[in-house]
Amino acid sequence: MLFITIMIIGTLITVTSNSWLGAWMGLEINLLSFIPLLSDNNNLMSTEASLKYFLTQALASTVLLFSSILLMLKNNMNNEINESFTSMIIMSALLLKSGAAPFHFWFPNMMEGLTWMNALMLMTWQKIAPLMLISYLNIKNLLLISVILSVVIGAIGGLNQTSLRKLMAFSSINHLGWMLSSLMISESIWLIYFLFYSFLSFILTFMFNIFKLFHLNQLFSWFVSSKILKFSLFMNFLSLGGLPPFLGFLPKWLVIQQLTLCNQYFLLTLMMMSTLITLFFYLRICYSAFMLNYFENNWVMEMNMNSNNTNLYLIMTFFSIFGLFLISLFFFMF
Amino acid sequence: MLKIIFFLLFLTPICFINNMYWTVQIMLFFISFIFLLMNNFMNYWSEISYFLGCDMLSYGLVLLSLWICSLMLLASESVNKYNNYKNLFLLNIVILLLLLVLTFSSMSLFMFYLFFESSLIPTLFLILGWGYQPERLQAGVYLLFYTLLVSLPMLIGIFYVMNKTGSMNFYLMNNFMFNYDLLYFCLLCAFLVKMPMFLVHLWLPKAHVEAPVSGSMILAGIMLKLGGYGLLRVISFLQFMNLKYSFIWISISLVGGVLVSLVCLRQTDLKALIAYSSVAHMGIVLAGLLTMTYWGLCGSYTLMIAHGLCSSGLFCLANVSYERLGSRSMLINKGLLNFMPAMTLWWFLLSSANMAAPPTLNLLGEISLLNSIVSWSWISMIMLSFLSFFSAAYTLYLYSFSQHGKLFSGIYSFSGGKIREYLLMLLHWLPLNLLILKSESCMLWL
């Protein structure tokens, strides 16, 4: 609990700081409190994951510190950026911190060793601070490259995975690409995208966490009290994939609309096509639920959720499936 | 329009109540009759509410989707009988219908796109959930990704159009004309795949073969018409580009129609045969539509309505014998005249509708399409003559192979047609033949 609080404080310090040094400090606080959270249990995998996380993040922080000092030495100021080379170093350090594409290699490996709740934190909360800092930089080329690489790698990498955590990691990289591209246009769209992404991935990880699902083949032998319930739970995946009738389409819609306004057609086409590939592996996860009749084992893992969780969960699923209609209702009302 | 939407929305809780299968079915019939009475033959948008409205073009297709969806429930009685997740099935179909009505009646291009995409999802669920073989996974993936691959560029195209015109309203957009090649391809390709045009039609036979009867009915009856409807809407502001490029699509679909008809002649699967025949018919529709003549536009709309009823009826017939014989193979489904003589009449009537025999709406549609295509270029007469010859040939092949000859010797006992099935056939056939008496509702919508 202590560490979670400190972690949140670290992020807040980063987000609210008005100098790069302060931002660096917040990131360090955030990192050092996240590590004890990771290696909480005696699992060897998680220790390894925390070590990996520490090494990469420490590297990124060092580079960030170095470059911000460099900036200060050159400009005698530590908050204004018009230096392209230094800001490129800062940018790459931040991309490394957030796990965006050219620097993404630690991310799926590390996810493999985490519990679902830690994975959720890594996928959502830990992205706030670096992405906020990236939004301060106005350097387009590296960001553009990173967006393209993120969406493509996120899509291709997830294709052959059987581990759900790695799948979620690659899908997170893909979504990160979308978030970075929305950062190029406007911060509020980024915020909306991030909130919706967090909501949808929260629903999914919550489900995986309750039922202790870690691999693709567990899904076929997993049985909720009714198939219909399972069916509706897995529709969240289509929502995460951004298919139209679901809530997940809304942030994508906003980003697409804004990008067409900025004439970024090539980038947009690439992003959409790669999202199609992510949709393919989401759909593969959903097979066990959407095929109502298939050959089953005689023994099935029957797990019961307690009713509080179920209610909360069903409400969230309802929003994730029908949310787009509700939002459009509000839109047309005002 | 909002009353239809609310009716369907409030129908969704009823789906969860047990033993409400027939109630929902009757309700859908009820709403289609209500909607029938809402017709006022306006050539402009009427019934406007919220962002919805309908002109003659959308009116016919909304009515068709209401009608086909109620017939879908009538056809898939086995879901009710064996309790194959019937509540979910009902819910799925009601939501699918809701989305289809929204698609056809939304007045803005973006809303059209949104619901156009959304209607894919319940169809996918229908195929994956209630299909028969494990291959349905592949069919589902084909369906989803063929459509999404081309419709995502269309979304970009739509936003481009919006940035240029500042409006998404169909009626206002008719005042604009875009001379931009890439936009043309973006907007058109999605509908061409949905139609489906030859060369991008592969998802359709696959989906039909794996889908349950309701899935086949909705696919042949409505989903293909979504493509034609979209084309009719967007072609009005892409006319110049269409003059430049339409020859590509017209020639592909004419030549492809002939090739697909030849493919039909060597099918052994009843459903695959009907699926390929609908590809051939849609080829004529597409060719006539893209000539952009008055005859062509009206004829394509007429044939779309007619084909929706007729091929959906044929899929029902295929399912009737599938439920009895447990197979769709032509080697087993033969000599059915001995087996169900009264059903043979329906086979005959619907087959003759499929080959555009006189009293049907298909004939009217095909004649006007032939007119428009021949006036576009007389060379297309060669392909058209082959096309209409082979369409008669494969329908005759379907009819005579399944009805005449010796009965399959492995049949042990049989049950004749049920009243429900005869009603189902009648309700497909009757509008098909009666609409010709009121054909201005289809032919004079423009």
DSSP of A213-248, one letter per residue? --BGGGTTTEE-S-HHHHHHHHHHHHHHHT-TTSTT
Q: Which residues pair with B329 in a beta bridge?
A: B269
Which of B79, B137, B226 should be substituted to probe chain A, the one whose Cβ sees the most A Cβ atoms within 10 Å?
Answer: B137
Distance (Å) from the alpha carbon of A295 to chain B's nearest alpha carbon: 10
CB atoms within 10 A of CB A276: 17
Q: What is the DSSP letter of A40?
A: -
Q: Which residues pair with B46 in a beta bridge?
A: B54
Q: How far apart are CA A264 and CA A267, in angstroms?
A: 6
Amino acid type, A144:
L
User: Which of these, B231, B335, B216, B236, lies nearest to B288 by C-alpha position?
Assistant: B231
Give first-to-last CA distance, chain B, whole Å.
Answer: 21
Residues 6 or more apart whose Cβ sits within 8 Å of residue B96? B69, B119, B122, B123, B126, B218
The pLDDT of residue A286 is 87
Average the pLDDT over each of A237-241, A329-333, B141-145, B191-195 and give the range with the smallest value.
Answer: A329-333
Average pLDDT over residues B240-258: 93
CB atoms B148 and A276 under 8 Å: yes
Band of the pLDDT at A76, cuts 50, 70, 90?
Answer: low
Sign of torsion over alpha carbons B228, B233, B236, B239? negative
CB atoms within 10 A of CB B313: 31
Which of B97, B144, B180, B193 should be substituted to probe chain A, the one whose Cβ sees the most A Cβ atoms within 10 Å?
Answer: B144
CB atoms A256 and B153 under 8 Å: no
Residues 6 or more apart whose Cβ sits within 8 Å of residue B404? B334, B335, B337
CB atoms within 10 A of CB B230: 24
Contact between residue A277 and residue A156 where contact means Cβ atoms under 8 Å apart = yes
The pLDDT of residue A234 is 86
The pLDDT of residue A215 is 87
Average pLDDT over residues A26-31: 92
Q: How far apart are CA A35 and CA A4, in angstroms?
A: 10
Q: B115 contacts in A (CB within 8 Å)?
A: 244-245
Which residue among A227, A265, A273 sits closest to B85, beta carbon to beta carbon?
A: A227
Q: B88 contacts in A (CB within 8 Å)?
A: 228, 231, 292
The pLDDT of residue A330 is 64
Q: How far apart are CA A136 and CA A18, in angstroms?
A: 10
Residue A102: C-alpha distances to residues A61, A99, B95, B281 (Å): 17, 8, 43, 50
CB atoms within 10 A of CB B18: 8
pLDDT at B116 over 60: yes
The pLDDT of residue B396 is 94
The pLDDT of residue B417 is 84
Residue B196: C-alpha distances to residues A177, B100, B280 (Å): 33, 18, 9
**In chain B, positions 83-142, which contact chain A (CB-CB < 8 Å)?**
84-85, 87-88, 99, 114-115, 117-118, 120-121, 124-125, 128-130, 134, 136-137, 140-141
Average pLDDT over residues A19-46: 85
Contact between residue A282 and residue A171 where contact means Cβ atoms under 8 Å apart = yes
pLDDT at A297 over 70: no
Q: How far apart are CA B300 and CA B376, in angstroms?
A: 15
The pLDDT of residue A334 is 45
At A213, list the tokens.
């699902």
Contact between residue B162 and residue B248 where contact means Cβ atoms under 8 Å apart = no
User: Which of these, A143, A50, A52, lies nearest to A92 by C-alpha position?
Assistant: A143
Cis status of the peptide bond prior to B196, with omega within 30 of 0: yes
Say how far residue B191 (Cα) sits from the centre of its chain: 13
pLDDT at A86 over 90: no
pTM here is 0.92
The single residue listed with the structure tokens 């209409």 is B388
Residues 6 or more apart whose Cβ sits within 8 Å of residue A322? A247
Three-state DSSP class for residue A302? strand
CB atoms B99 and A293 under 8 Å: no
Amino acid type, B216:
S
A330 or B71: which leads in pLDDT: B71
Q: How far apart are CA B400 and CA B379, in angstroms?
A: 33
Percent of chain B scoring above 70 in pLDDT:
100
Distance (Å) from the alpha carbon of B132 to chain A's nearest alpha carbon: 9
pLDDT at B254 over 90: yes
CB atoms B88 and A290 under 8 Å: no
Band of the pLDDT at A80, cuts 50, 70, 90?
Answer: low
Nearest residue on chain A to B112, alpha-carbon basis: A244
Average pLDDT over residues B48-54: 85
Which residue among A243, A245, A290 sits closest to B128, beta carbon to beta carbon?
A: A290
Contact between residue B207 and residue B215 where contact means Cβ atoms under 8 Å apart = yes
Q: What is the DSSP letter of A102?
A: G
The pLDDT of residue A41 is 66
Percent of chain A scoring above 90 in pLDDT:
35
pLDDT at B128 over 80: yes
Give chain B as a 3 state SS string: CHHHHHHHHHHCHHHHCCCCHHHHHHHHHHHHHHHHHCCCCCCCCEEEECCEEECHHHHHHHHHHHHHHHHHHHHCHHHHHCCCCHHHHHHHHHHHHHHHHHHHHECEHHHHHHHHHHCHHHHHHHHHHHCCCCCHHHHHHHHHHHHHHHHHHHHHHHHHHHHHHCCCEHHHHCCCCCCCHHHHHHHHHHHHHHCCCCCCCCHHHHHHHHCCHHHHHHHHHHHHHHHHHHHHHHHHHCHHHHHHHHHHHHHHHHHHHHHHHHHHHCCCEHHHHHHHHHHHHHHHHHHHHHCCCHHHHHHHHHHHHHHHHHHHHHHHHHHHHHHHHCCCECCCCCCHHHHCHHHHHHHHHHHHHHCCCCCCHHHHHHHHHHHHHHHHCCCHHHHHHHHHHHHHHHHHHHHHHHHCCCCCCCCCCCCCCCHHHHHHHHHHHHHHHHHHHHCHHHHCCC
The pLDDT of residue A301 is 59
Q: What is the pLDDT of residues B351-366, one digit of tens each?
A: 999 998 888 999 999 9
Sign of torsion over alpha carbons A171, A172, A176, A178? positive
The pLDDT of residue B84 is 86
Computed over every residue of chain A, the mean pLDDT equals 85
Average pLDDT over residues A203-222: 83
Which residue among B84, B85, B149 sits closest to A228, beta carbon to beta carbon?
A: B85
Distance (Å) from the alpha carbon of A102 to chain B's nearest alpha carbon: 26
Tell whether A220 lies on the interface with B, counting CB pairs under 8 A: no
CB atoms B155 and A272 under 8 Å: yes
Tell whether B180 lies on the interface with A, counting CB pairs under 8 A: no
Average pLDDT over residues A46-56: 88
Average pLDDT over residues A301-326: 76
Sign of torsion over alpha carbons B122, B123, B124, B130? positive
Band of the pLDDT at B409, cuts 50, 70, 90?
Answer: confident
The pLDDT of residue B261 is 94
Average pLDDT over residues B314-336: 90
Question: φ and ψ at A105, to 5 degrees?
Answer: -65, -30
| Burial grade of A287 (CB within 10 A; 0-12, 13-18, 19 or more) | middle
CB atoms B159 and A257 under 8 Å: yes
Distance (Å) from the alpha carbon of B97 to chain A's nearest alpha carbon: 14
Contact between residue B316 and residue B422 where contact means Cβ atoms under 8 Å apart = no
Contact between residue B291 and residue B246 where contact means Cβ atoms under 8 Å apart = yes
Tell whether A268 lies on the interface with B, counting CB pairs under 8 A: yes
User: Which of these, B155, B22, B56, lies nearest to B440 by C-alpha position?
Assistant: B56
Three-state DSSP class for residue A76? coil
Three-state DSSP class for residue A301? strand
CB atoms within 10 A of CB A2: 9
Band of the pLDDT at B50, cuts 50, 70, 90?
Answer: confident
Three-state DSSP class for residue A163? strand
A310 or B405: which leads in pLDDT: B405
CB atoms B148 and A268 under 8 Å: no
In angstroms, how far apart are the furthest CA atoms of chain B?
A: 67
Nearest residue on chain A to B119, alpha-carbon basis: A245
Give first-to-last CA distance, chain A, whole Å.
Answer: 42
Q: B163 contacts in A (CB within 8 Å)?
A: 260-261
Computed over every residue of chain B, the mean pLDDT equals 91
Q: A291 contacts in B (CB within 8 Å)?
A: 128-129, 136-137
The pLDDT of residue B168 is 87
The single residue listed with the structure tokens 């294709």 is A159
Question: φ and ψ at B108, to 5 degrees?
Answer: -110, 150
Three-state DSSP class for residue A186? coil
Distance (Å) from the alpha carbon of B193 to chain A's nearest alpha carbon: 16
Q: What is the pLDDT of residues A96-117, one digit of tens each?
A: 999 898 898 999 988 888 889 8
Contact between residue A321 and residue A232 where contact means Cβ atoms under 8 Å apart = yes
